[in-house]
Chain A
Amino acid sequence: MEGTELAGKILSTWLTLVLGLILLPSAFGVSLGISEIYMKILVKTLEWATIRIEKGVPKESVKNSASVGIIQRDESPMEKGLSGLRGRDFELSDVFYFSKKGLEAIVEDEVTQRFSSEELVSWNLLTRTNINFQYISLRLTMVWVLGVIVRYCVLLPLRVTLAFIGISLLVMGTTLVGQLPDSSLKSWLSELVHLTCCRICVRSLSGTIHYHNKQYRPQKGGICVANHTSPIDVFILTTDGCYAMVGQVQGGLMGIIQRAIVKACPHVWFERSEMKDRHLVTKRLKEHIADRKKLPILIFPEGTCINNTSVMMFKKGSFEIGGTIHPVAIKYNPQFGDAFWNSSKYNMVSYLLRVMTSWAIVCDVWYLPPMTREEGEDAAQFANRVKSAIAVQGGLTELPWDGGLKRGKVKDAFREEQQKNYSKMIVGNGSLNSESN
């Protein structure tokens, strides 16, 4: 009996601590600085680890590890690659340039590597990122073992509890608020509930978020677009402001959450059958933004999770609705934990487990000035413009490919461009007679 009493006492003290130190400050949006201290210690440890690794490894490897990717690419344009000036004639060896480019693409292409986690330049003491690094010293291994103990036995239970509390509070709170009649009180309360619960959920991941340019935060009646890395993106954005989400109605836990939060404030959920009808989707979204009192819509135009090193093609459907677009760039710091959800490799539960056993989730969120579609610009060009703005701000590479890896129109246009370039070289200068191009 004494054992259970003791266990009960420990549990209650622990819960009170959690309540006092984490839950209450979240409700008020205040931070006690505990996570900052944790981050400082973490950064110091990782720096020490990096120095140890660099000492233990021969000099040349360190120099070359800065390059991303496994092959040295010859990035010279076609003219140089074909070792020619304009108007030089076709040679048998011209085929070498194309075959080399082709083989480079087979060994490592820009798109497929975006669907696996980014590789780190220096090890961050997590086994899952240990592809390249070898045994260096006993001290490093000891620190690593200590890290494993801390992460799995101290941080993981804490985080799981917080996540549990956060989600149940969300469901209960929004259901309660949903009972009220529509009024400004209701919207204020629902905002409070949303913000508090999202803050708790982000704390459960040990998330440290830096917001930049808060003056451009999305306003009501607008559409917010952001690059997509994982489902966590939603929580990260909602910590700083409430949004109306768009998505498919799902079953299970997600479905319960969806049904609960739509009672408190108007999100836009579609049935699976409705999603196919693009006109219906556009109509409902248009109705939503026409109402100035409703929250801004949050959309991820890439349509799929990318590994946060690049931005892929934005689907133009979201840009045809009209209204003001508020772009947001999200960049995670991979040193502390990998937030990318590789949905083909991990299901939701293992993904959450991996995230909760990383050191922390550190990210930067930049709000960009609002954009609208200009005269004479079609939806696809507008989408590209927004995509470039986000890529530039977040320091991400811009890729024109479709994240769904579908063979679409954009591919032929690219191939024609290459063909055009090449033909200009061998024919353009009129080294042959008769008609020019």
Chain B
Amino acid sequence: MGSRSSHAALIPDADSLRRETGFSQASLLRLYHRFRALDTNKKGYLSRMDLQQIGALAVNPLGDRIIDSFFPDGSLQVDFPDFVRVLAHFRPADDEDAGLRDPREPEPLNSRMNKLRFAFQLYDLDRDGKISRHEMLQVLRLMVGVQVTEEQLESIAERTVQEADEDGDGAVSFLEFAKEEEENGSGRQLVVSTTVCLKTQLPGRFLVLVISVWNYWKLLGIITTTAFIIVL
């Protein structure tokens, strides 16, 4: 009982995480509960299998690639801070003027550039900073399955690389990718907005006190009942 205690103290390094990712306290708490719910064996970290258990992710054509983005550099575990850092890419971009930001601080995770970097590494498997035609073909194959023939797919890949490639090296670098997206203005799509901040409130200190008193009441109630039954 009382497993859903809303104490932010549960999350390790909550403050620095908040600053780094920009999530509100309430959102962070929700994501922590989500992390715990996904961690089926209570290991304290998530493995690939935990993420593959999510039905809607398993049927997503790019599901495996998305899961890969949580496990960079061949690691097999993702802990809560890394989990949240990946999710932070999808926060709605802050509207404040880019000029007001201190240029010495690292770019916020949900800036347009970082969103595009996230999308870029869904394509760029070998992390060499370029999307080759072969990598493009692989992603396309994931998205269409067996519905399209090899020749059609190759021509699509060829055309796309040619359109985006500017320096003629036969591959799409990140800058070329970003430029292409800027023209289309579609970076806005990489947003998952949460209504969390509007719903969740943290209990006031008074209620926390009352809750601890309630724990004693609970014990009292159980003792009363047991005594009753024994007397019976």
Contacts and interface: CB of A to CB of B under 8 A. Distances in A.
Contacts of B119: 93, 95-96, 99
Interface residues of B, number: 85
Interface string B53-72: 11111111111011000000
Contacts of B61: 98, 415, 418-419, 422
Given A61-B199, A95-B119, A141-B206, A156 B152 contact: no
Interface in B148-185: 148-149, 151-152, 155-156, 159-160, 164, 172, 177, 180-181, 184
A103 B85 CA distance: 13
A132 B217 contact: no
B145 A152 contact: no
Contacts of B14: none
A134 B201 contact: yes
Nearest to A160: B225
Contact of A152 (B58, B60, B144, B218): B218
A139 interface: no
A422 B143 contact: yes
Interface string A333-363: 0000000000001000010011001000000
A192 interface: no
A103 B192 contact: yes
A148 B194 contact: no
A67 interface: yes
Interface of A is mostly: helix
A153 B226 CA distance: 12
Contacts of A145: 210
Given A60-B198, A72-B195, A93 B59 contact: no
Interface centre among A116, A145, A419 (most CB of B within 10 A): A419
Interface string A83-96: 10000011111111
Interface of B: 1-4, 6, 30-31, 34, 37-38, 51-63, 65-66, 87, 90, 118-119, 122-123, 139-140, 143-149, 151-152, 155-156, 159-160, 164, 172, 177, 180-181, 184, 186, 189-196, 198-207, 210-211, 214, 217-218, 220-222, 224-225, 228-229, 231-232
